[in-house]
Amino acid sequence: MSRYLKREYQALEAYTPGEQPRDAAYIKLNTNESPFPPAPAVTAALTRREAELLRLYPDPTGRALKEKLAGLYGVGAENIYLSNGSDDILNFAFMAYGRSGAVFPDITYGFYAVFAGLHGVPYEEKPLNGDFTINPEDYFNQNKLIVIANPNAPTGLSLSVGAVEEILRRNRDHVVMIDEAYVDFGGESCYPLIRRYENLLVVRTFSKSRCLAGGRLGYAIGPAELIGDLEKIKYATNPYDINRLTLLLGEATVEAEDYYREKCGEIIRVRAQTAARLKELGFEVVPSDANFLFVKSGRIGGEALYRALKKRRILVRHFEKERIRDYNRVTIGTAEQMEAFCRAVEEILEEIT
Ligand SMILES: *Cc1c(COP(=O)(O)O)cnc(C)c1O
């Protein structure tokens, strides 16, 4: 760190992304990417002609993609905001709406606290219940920006749309941001509520269920006024934040909806199989609506299991946070990958007994 850095950034604790090993020899179950490639029509859209068009700036309004997404959800194009990954939207929301502070669960996506730190937003972490469920009443009348991942990460547990609506009703003067990164794997979206709640911002990503983590594409669905706020910040930072190829791939992705629904169905099926197998091995498995399982073995600690799996070239996630250090978050891969994972776990447990 140089002596030139602004004082408020010197103490900033940045986010630590999951490992991205350079050699492809690992079974990667650590960052909730899809094990499937994008739909064939999406990869086919990457033509030489499109590569040559990279000499031109992209459309800063992203009009064509906004219209496709608006059509898919039955909202207006003015209700859609596009971003370079959904993390940018979370960042902008803390910047824009965090003036009187923010509230989110103690166990959730680690980036929320980082964005709060970045923008000097004081935040309160509401402890999840003992079973990791969210108590909606903790979020009533908070007079702060409320941020909830639904399904939550890394637990995979969902809050009902009814509970989200209660939270919206009791925080009319502040924005409630619902991060739906994992909603396509079994959760229920609350975006239809944007018609009735001017304070609701729903955040989505193409990174997980749309097999496009490397493309960096996220979007928000919300009332036109909130979308306008985000646009204002975008045009004050980087109007060309989404590159031409990603916009193009995004459009092809929306048109291949059937492919992605099928792949999500496959993840849900393999998730159930993996959960059953882990329970047989004595694991506690948190019920998941996401493309990962949050699991704890009574026989081996979270860090020890992470290390033993890594030796076998399988990557899962382990967190240092006290309350969840006995757990691992395991992304659902293909049926073959999960078979290899379960066999490795069996071997590891046999070795320690
Ligand atoms: C993965 C993830 C995101 C963001 O992903 P992007 O790749 O930036 O779109 C946002 N929220 C949660 C809870 C996530 O797990």
Mean pLDDT of 303-320: 96
| Spatial contact of 329 and 319, defined as CB atoms under 8 Å apart | yes
As given in the structure block, the two tokens for residue 89 are 């939207």
Q: Which residue, judged by its Cα, is nearest atom 1 of ligand 1?
A: 181
Which one of 15, 81, 207, 253 would you pick to mutate in the ligand 1 pocket, going by the greatest count of ligand atoms within 8 A of its CB?
207
pLDDT-derived band at 20, boundaries 50, 70, 90:
confident
Report CA(280)–ligand 1 centroid distance (Å).
Answer: 31
pLDDT-derived band at 22, boundaries 50, 70, 90:
confident
Pocket of ligand 1, beta carbon within 6 A: 32, 85-87, 109, 149, 153, 179, 181, 205, 207, 213, 218
Which one of 16, 83, 84, 87 would you pick to mutate in the ligand 1 pocket, going by the greatest count of ligand atoms within 8 A of its CB?
87
Instruction: Give the number of other Cβ atoms within 10 Å of residue 335's Cβ.
Output: 14
Quote the distance between the C-alpha of residue 69 and its chain's center: 18
The closest alpha carbon to 118, from 139, 144, 93, 143, belongs to: 93
Q: Which residue, judged by its Cα, is nearest atom 13 of ligand 1?
A: 109
Q: Which domains does the chain have, with CATH numbers?
A: 7-37+258-352 (3.90.1150.10), 55-256 (3.40.640.10)
Write down the pLDDT at residue 210. Answer: 98
Higher pLDDT, 11 or 300: 300
Distance separating alpha carbons of residues 142 and 324, to the nearest angstrom: 26
Report CA(109)–ligand 1 centroid distance (Å).
Answer: 8
* Residue 45 CB partners (closer than 8 Å, separation 6+): 248, 249, 251, 252
Write down the pLDDT at residue 144. Answer: 98
Write down the pLDDT at residue 17. Answer: 86
| Spatial contact of 145 and 94, defined as CB atoms under 8 Å apart | yes
Mean pLDDT of 67-77: 98
pLDDT exceeds 80 at position 351: yes
The closest alpha carbon to 180, from 235, 222, 127, 145, belongs to: 222
pLDDT exceeds 80 at position 23: no
16 to 28, 110, 114, 180, 291: CA distances (angstroms): 17, 9, 10, 21, 20
- pLDDT tens for 105-129 read 999 999 999 999 999 999 999 999 9
| Spatial contact of 93 and 81, defined as CB atoms under 8 Å apart | no
Distance separating alpha carbons of residues 214 and 207, to the nearest angstrom: 7
pLDDT-derived band at 207, boundaries 50, 70, 90:
very high
Q: Which residue, judged by its Cα, is nearest atom 14 of ligand 1?
A: 181
Longest dimension (CA), the chain: 62
Report CA(302)–ligand 1 centroid distance (Å).
Answer: 23
Quote the distance between the C-alpha of residue 314 and its chain's center: 22
Which one of 16, 32, 107, 109 would you pick to mutate in the ligand 1 pocket, going by the greatest count of ligand atoms within 8 A of its CB?
109
pLDDT exceeds 90 at position 268: yes
Report CA(348)–ligand 1 centroid distance (Å).
Answer: 31
